[in-house]
Structure 1
């Protein structure tokens, strides 16, 4: 039988009816090896644990670490927070929390203890508290007075030994954050704002913080009774159009690794939140993708978010006796690999021997990267499984298809059980950049169909006239009356008269408070 979801990525279109036909004919055993991919497609730490799902500002969604493709003497780490940001989610758009420490941890000797932490802390400022607006006019720079709600951040490099602080160095102070992409009228050149948010620190690192397109790609409809109960709900990037808040940090390899002879580093990110007594408590943690979604059971999810790699022995059984292969066997009749799963321990808790496993490693959940392996000229989405040692699980690049890779490994790829399992989503909906910070620009809040009788861009601005100009720059003394017409699905038309409101708003924004 020709694989429906093949490693080459060919032959996937038009095959959903084939899957359904196989199921309808009772051919699960025959179709299982190829139709199984969607059952195991899951988001990487998007609402992965009960407690953190209720506080998205503190919720790690994904972590990436890779040798920079255009600067191979550096490593880039991308850490994301706040899952499922709707681009039009105003009037209170998406900010980092002021009462949190967003930390990137580096273990450079394999002992499961961080030797350094890059700590980001944020401060929010509001210029005008008497308006509900995030911006009061078109924003053309990060210093624009019309950007009403702004954030800045500091970076501290904390060095540790045996989990005790040895030193603390300020790397950056009061760096501006790239704002949420409210829309084309509010931010006519978002790329310019993005570029202004890239900052080089005193220690030779480069940093960025702000909104970005969610780089993770997968079909999330697994939760609708395993993709609709009959595998008809597959092949769509469910995260398409959603944004996240990103911290990106590019650092010299020599800064983070122990030595040229020991180039492997372990990376994980955490969020610490200030409690009622003023102390910080860890509430979120992320290393390898997918761990707290499908490896840890419900009883361990919140515990894992509050824990450190040094104590990961308590979760070892979740790796050596994983639940997912048993579910796959029960549903698709594909025999689960024999336990204990020491192959999974090597890949996800130690690193691959001879590739990214440090000497004398203590098993712990970290994203491990060999910083001496040069970037691939032509990255393969399946990384190490397809002979590309610069990709996952040797770190994680933005283009790595970790769902397909993890699924194939869980089903015994490294034990000789060859398979081509996947979720039929092989790449992000937006292309990634060639230069730091590499993540794609966030989807604009003004996406979607325009109102009847309007057009995009400059024409819209001309229709709205000087109502969109920054406060204090209005010319002329007459009020503009604007009619916005729209029709409902039934064909009924509605007309909203807003000219008077626009004139009042314009005068109000010029009045001192």
Structure 2
């Protein structure tokens, strides 16, 4: 839909959204401020104390966009297990057996999932007491007997008050890329692992080059205090575990009608059971507990103090607005003051209701926020009950936004309304977008002093033109990838 230029209104009363606005600032603020250095945080890589010790179930990034080569579908991608150095043998990087890896869809704006797509993995390890090798010869096909460590998954579609629907019963995972000699054509293995879904769509569980890109020297007092420490993609060379799902828009929209109800909210989450330990084994037991979640990028790192990070990972979005712990920091964020202290750029005046609308309610006239346009809030859906709507931290996508012929890495800020924060494409430069937004930029009105950002504008490995669009995983040591 044509939107023109987003211009904030003034004089709008502040709405109480509790922790949610703080989370919004966290999304935008991680680009500017962080506790730690090196590879301690990036997007949501190892962002909370407990999840840092359990990387197999650590959500890192979520992407949602209209499929560029199939406009009637949406592609959803969720990543886990960050900072995979390609030479990580002999065990490499398996999915956690029995855990629930979920992508959740909220089509009504309640903060609760109307649909959950759930991957559950199990392992077939044929090494036994014979060998330590992941594969004992070249693997040219997923069925080759030389592949000794295999994982499989069940994919279910879950809807409230309905029986689960199994979409994939025994899908095979594309394995960790153990090297050029072992897997000379990883692209073939990924294609073999891609499964067509009943009713349309496809899915794959695979290792991939981490699609998130930024210069982590942001943590050295904002790129060295004088923007001298920029230009290196610190995540180059690292892999992640990815699930990708391409699904018809009608399956995601409320009441199956993507014309009347085009906006959805998306987040990923991970659940696992408590482990009962015994000599040489760990058996899952008890109820499943949510241990990680992720919607918008750059959420749980900097605004939330360490004592609240694990709690946020355990909450559903529907409960976010009931957490009042950091309201004061939300409407008067610290990050712009830090930029002002270092670079002399005046901090935008508080309260920051523009950030509140961008990240928590979605942008819509009905949200009563500072923007006077309709972009990507579930409040735009014609068949929802607006009395049930709650502010919630979700990545929101308007599936009716026209396709962009030449995507702009700055998304909505540069007039490309299909880009972040209206969904998130692999090529969206969320760090530079966040930097601009925190300093008060609006579409067509960027902050000139920050125009160069971190000078990391894309990944060093090109994305694919077809599903799942992710770059193939690296197979060289990180210190050679650059």
Q: Please indicate the TM-score interval, normalised by the length of the shorter structure.
A: 0.7 to 0.9
The offset of 1:224, in angstroms, is 3.9
1:217 aligns with 2:213: yes
Map Cα deviations across residues 383-427 of structure 1 (whole Å, 9 max, x no partner): 011100111000000000000111111111139974042111111
Q: Equivalent residue for 2:310?
A: 302
Aligned counterparts of 1:323 and 1:304: Cα–Cα separation in 2: 20
Q: Is the 8 A contact 1:102 1:119 kept in 2?
A: yes
Q: Is the 8 A contact 2:267 2:394 kept in 1?
A: yes
Cα distance 1:38–1:49, how it changes in 2: closer, same or farther (>3 A)?
closer
1:356 aligns with 2:376: yes
Cα distance 1:281–1:66, how it changes in 2: closer, same or farther (>3 A)?
same
Aligned counterparts of 1:38 and 1:110: Cα–Cα separation in 2: 27
Map Cα deviations across residues 157-205 of structure 1 (whole Å, 9 max, x no partner): 1102xxxx43311111110101111111101111111111111122423
Q: Equivalent residue for 1:82?
A: 81
Structure 1 portions without partners, runs of 5+: 1-35, 450-513
Q: Is the 8 A contact 2:30 2:43 kept in 1?
A: no
1:287 aligns with 2:295: yes
Q: How does 1:92-107 map to 2 (within 5 A)?
A: 92-107=91-106
Map Cα deviations across residues 463-496 of structure 1 (whole Å, 9 max, x no partner): xxxxxxxxxxxxxxxxxxxxxxxxxxxxxxxxxx
The offset of 1:332, in angstroms, is 2.6
Aligned counterparts of 1:331 and 1:406: Cα–Cα separation in 2: 18
Q: Equivalent residue for 2:425?
A: 397
Aligned counterparts of 1:231 and 1:44: Cα–Cα separation in 2: 20
**Higher RCO, 1 vs 2 (CA within 8 Å, ≥6 residues apart):** 2
Aligned counterparts of 1:417 and 1:294: Cα–Cα separation in 2: 26
Aligned counterparts of 2:148 and 2:401: Cα–Cα separation in 1: 45
Map Cα deviations across residues 410-452 of structure 1 (whole Å, 9 max, x no partner): 1111399740421111111111111100000001147877xxx
Q: Equivalent residue for 2:340?
A: 329
Aligned residue-pair number? 410
Structure 2 portions without partners, runs of 5+: 1-28, 35-40, 276-284, 365-373, 380-385
Map Cα deviations across residues 244-275 of structure 1 (whole Å, 9 max, x no partner): 00000011000011122111000000011111
The offset of 1:352, in angstroms, is 1.6
Q: Equivalent residue for 1:177?
A: 173
Aligned counterparts of 1:416 and 1:390: Cα–Cα separation in 2: 15
Q: Equivalent residue for 2:393?
A: 365
The offset of 1:39, in angstroms, is 4.3
Aligned counterparts of 1:282 and 1:37: Cα–Cα separation in 2: 23
Aligned counterparts of 1:448 and 1:410: Cα–Cα separation in 2: 33
Q: Is the 8 A contact 2:31 2:435 kept in 1?
A: no
Cα distance 1:150–1:384, how it changes in 2: closer, same or farther (>3 A)?
same
The DSSP-based 3-state class of the residue aligned with 1:289 is coil
- Root mean square deviation of aligned Cα: 2.1
Aligned counterparts of 2:186 and 2:78: Cα–Cα separation in 1: 21
Aligned counterparts of 1:166 and 1:159: Cα–Cα separation in 2: 6
Cα distance 1:336–1:389, how it changes in 2: closer, same or farther (>3 A)?
same
Cα distance 1:273–1:434, how it changes in 2: closer, same or farther (>3 A)?
same
Q: Equivalent residue for 1:207?
A: 203
Aligned counterparts of 1:38 and 1:247: Cα–Cα separation in 2: 25
The offset of 1:226, in angstroms, is 4.1
Aligned counterparts of 1:448 and 1:219: Cα–Cα separation in 2: 16
Q: Equivalent residue for 1:384?
A: 412
Aligned counterparts of 1:159 and 1:252: Cα–Cα separation in 2: 16
The DSSP-based 3-state class of the residue aligned with 2:433 is helix
The offset of 1:110, in angstroms, is 1.2
Q: Is the 8 A contact 1:37 1:404 kept in 2?
A: no
Q: Equivalent residue for 1:458?
A: none
The DSSP-based 3-state class of the residue aligned with 1:280 is strand
The offset of 1:328, in angstroms, is 2.0
Map Cα deviations across residues 354-377 of structure 1 (whole Å, 9 max, x no partner): 011121342110000001113211
The DSSP-based 3-state class of the residue aligned with 1:413 is coil
Cα distance 1:135–1:195, how it changes in 2: closer, same or farther (>3 A)?
same
Cα distance 1:415–1:442, how it changes in 2: closer, same or farther (>3 A)?
closer
1:444 aligns with 2:482: no
The offset of 1:288, in angstroms, is 0.3
The correspondence for 2:248, drawn from 248, 252, 258, is 252
Aligned counterparts of 1:296 and 1:416: Cα–Cα separation in 2: 31
Q: Is the 8 A contact 1:182 1:445 kept in 2?
A: no
Aligned counterparts of 1:147 and 1:274: Cα–Cα separation in 2: 29
Map Cα deviations across residues 78-108 of structure 1 (whole Å, 9 max, x no partner): 1000111001111111111003100000000
Q: What's the TM-score once normalised by structure 2's chain length?
A: 0.81
Q: Equivalent residue for 1:238?
A: 234
Q: How does 1:185-200 map to 2 (within 5 A)?
A: 185-200=181-196
Cα distance 1:169–1:158, how it changes in 2: closer, same or farther (>3 A)?
same
Aligned counterparts of 1:199 and 1:53: Cα–Cα separation in 2: 31
